[in-house]
Amino acid sequence: MKMRTCLLAFLGLIVIGLSCVPVARAETTGESPATESPAESKKPAAFADRGAQTCIKCHDQSPVSDILKTPHVVKGDGRTPFGQDNHDCETCHGASPEHIHSHPASGEKKASTAVVFKGPNAASVEKRNEMCTNCHENGMRMNWRGSQHQSNDVACVDCHTVHVTKDPVLVKQKQPEKCFTCHAEQRAQSFMYSHHPVREGKVSCGDCHSVHGSPGPKLMKEFTVNQTCYNCHAEKRGPFMWEHQPVREDCISCHTPHGSTEARLMSERMNFMCSACHSGSTSANSGAAFGGHGALSGSQKNIAISSGLANQRTCLNCHSQVHGSNSANGAYFLR
């Protein structure tokens, strides 16, 4: 008896739901909607009447039910999917009467929800992202539109998981694995001899990158690469009495951020790296580059020039203050 009442009520809802369609169209085309009857104005009837209760009848198992323990499910908080309109699950999955009430013959598929986020039935990236940006288009996602991820059709849920007590991408130790599913090169670099301790869980990709979008290059967290580095390596910021020009311009002219076979994240073997800019034949410093070394005594001159390229640290043996010097006599970064 109870079942039949439900069924009748449900059919009634569908009828109201269908009759709402033209109204919705009118709204999207900007025409003023037709006057609504009191019954229609309550709420779009296609949504399940009892919100999450309807869904949980069938979906009461982990991981689906884990969402009930997350910040998305706070009944008293009108900003959450469970705090408004009683749409609950359907705030994200869309009104899904076909899904709730389809009873497929054995061997046949059940109709999907209006929006499926993962797997073979997933909705378009645009549709899925729209469900999230309905609520999340401010704060740190201000720059999402036009960002590298948005314009390459990456979905919010390619990184985020919502049916889990703690979203792994928000956990420092677990975040890189998410990123590595698409960024294999950075994964390989993270295993190199010298690397930022990202795999070790001490630094996260998000410490340097604003993955939702950035006004800076390469999704940098700050406006420039250098400002991003200064967040943790403040002692390199200076100002120094004697500045080494490439340090001020771009840390990446000598370092590589994700991993290197050379110590100290050097982009090349040390002395080759210095010589790339300071060589007698190839740079604007022509002649002047090693001219100063002429003033050294014989043996010192040899160190600098003949065995220099063979020894990783040779230039640094004398020029120890490559990032800049505050010594009165530091013009050559010797002290």
Q: Which residues pair with 221 in a beta bridge?
A: none
Question: Is 16 an interacting residue with respect to ligand HEC (CB under 6 A)?
Answer: no
What separation in angstroms does the CA of 329 have from each of 22, 180, 186, 290, 300? 81, 47, 41, 19, 19
Looking at 13, 45, 46, 258, which residue binds ligand HEC (CB under 6 A)?
Answer: 258
Question: Is 13 an interacting residue with respect to ligand HEC (CB under 6 A)?
Answer: no
**CA proximity to 290, closest of 272, 270, 304, 303:** 304
Question: Which residue intervals of the chain are DSSP H helices?
Answer: 2-28, 38-41, 52-56, 89-93, 97-101, 125-133, 148-151, 156-159, 175-180, 184-190, 205-208, 225-230, 245-249, 270-277, 288-291, 298-305, 314-318
Shortest separation between residue 106's beta carbon and ligand HEC, angstroms = 11
Q: Cβ(122)–Cβ(128) under 8 Å?
A: yes
Segment near ligand HEC (CB under 6 A); pick from 3-11, 22-30, 35-43, 262-270? 262-270
Question: Is 259 an interacting residue with respect to ligand HEC (CB under 6 A)?
Answer: no
Question: Is 109 an interacting residue with respect to ligand HEC (CB under 6 A)?
Answer: yes
Spatial distance between the Cα atoms of 215 and 211, rounded to a whole number of angstroms: 11
Question: Is 157 an interacting residue with respect to ligand HEC (CB under 6 A)?
Answer: yes
Segment near ligand HEC (CB under 6 A); pick from 2-10, 15-23, 35-43, 182-190? 182-190
**CA proximity to 196, closest of 172, 219, 214:** 172
Question: Is 154 an interacting residue with respect to ligand HEC (CB under 6 A)?
Answer: yes
Q: Cβ(170)–Cβ(179) under 8 Å?
A: no
How close are the terminal C-alpha atoms of the chain, in Å?
A: 91
Shortest separation between residue 41's beta carbon and ligand HEC, angstroms = 21
Spatial distance between the Cα atoms of 14 and 46, rounded to a whole number of angstroms: 6
- The smaller minimum CB distance to ligand HEC, of residues 14 and 154, is found at 154
Q: Tokens 């403040």 sit at which residue?
A: 234
- The smaller minimum CB distance to ligand HEC, of residues 37 and 102, is found at 102
Question: Is 114 an interacting residue with respect to ligand HEC (CB under 6 A)?
Answer: no
Site for ligand HEC in 282-311 (CB under 6 A): 285, 288-289, 291-293, 295-296, 300, 303-304, 308
Shortest separation between residue 280's beta carbon and ligand HEC, angstroms = 10
Segment near ligand HEC (CB under 6 A); pick from 10-18, 22-30, 34-42, 186-194? 186-194
Question: Is 85 an interacting residue with respect to ligand HEC (CB under 6 A)?
Answer: no
Question: Is 134 an interacting residue with respect to ligand HEC (CB under 6 A)?
Answer: yes
Looking at 127, 174, 236, 335, which residue binds ligand HEC (CB under 6 A)?
Answer: 236
Site for ligand HEC in 37-66 (CB under 6 A): 48, 52, 54-59, 64
State the number of binding residues for ligand HEC (CB under 6 A): 139
- Please state whether 132 falls in left (phi above 0), alpha (psi between -120 and 50) or beta: alpha
Looking at 13, 46, 315, 325, which residue binds ligand HEC (CB under 6 A)?
Answer: 315
* Residues contacting residue 22 through CB under 8 Å, at least 6 positions apart: 34
Looking at 45, 196, 213, 240, which residue binds ligand HEC (CB under 6 A)?
Answer: 196
Site for ligand HEC in 19-38 (CB under 6 A): none
Spatial distance between the Cα atoms of 99 and 96, rounded to a whole number of angstroms: 5
- Please state whether 153 falls in left (phi above 0), alpha (psi between -120 and 50) or beta: left
Question: Is 142 an interacting residue with respect to ligand HEC (CB under 6 A)?
Answer: no
Question: Is 314 an interacting residue with respect to ligand HEC (CB under 6 A)?
Answer: yes
